[in-house]
Amino acid sequence: LVALGKLGDTDDDAESWAFASTITNTFWMETLAVNMSILVASLSLLFFSFSGVTMGDHKVNLTVSACAFIIGPLLYWCSCLFVSWNGASGFLVFLCGQVFFGIGVSMAAMTVGPYLAEIAPPQNRGAYGAVQEFGAVLGICISLCYAAILDRCSWSATYFAVYWAPGWLSAVVMLACLKWTVETPRACLLQGRDADAVATFSYLCPGASNNLLQSTVDEIR
41 by Cβ neighbours in 10 Å (0-12 / 13-18 / 19+) ranks as buried
- Report the pLDDT value the prediction gives residue 72, as an integer from 0 to 100: 81
Per-domain boundaries in the chain: 18-181, 184-220
The total of other beta-carbon atoms located within 10 Å of residue 213's CB is: 19
- Report the pLDDT value the prediction gives residue 20, as an integer from 0 to 100: 43
- Report the pLDDT value the prediction gives residue 178, as an integer from 0 to 100: 83
List average pLDDT for each run of 10 residues in the chain, which is 221 residues long: 42 46 51 69 75 65 85 76 57 78 82 81 79 83 74 60 74 84 78 76 71 70 66
- Report the pLDDT value the prediction gives residue 59, as an integer from 0 to 100: 81
CATH number for 18-181: choose from 3.30.200.20, 3.40.50.2300, 2.40.50.840, 1.20.1250.20.
Answer: 1.20.1250.20
- Would you say the pTM of this structure is higher than 0.75? no
- Report the pLDDT value the prediction gives residue 87, as an integer from 0 to 100: 53
- Report the pLDDT value the prediction gives residue 63, as an integer from 0 to 100: 86
Residues 4, 20: Cα–Cα separation, whole Å: 7
Q: Which amino acid is residue 141, in one-letter code?
A: C
Q: Cα separations (Å) of 138 from 132, 141, 145, 149?
A: 10, 5, 11, 17
Packing angle, helices 125-150 and 88-119, rounded to 10: 160
- Report the pLDDT value the prediction gives residue 16, as an integer from 0 to 100: 44
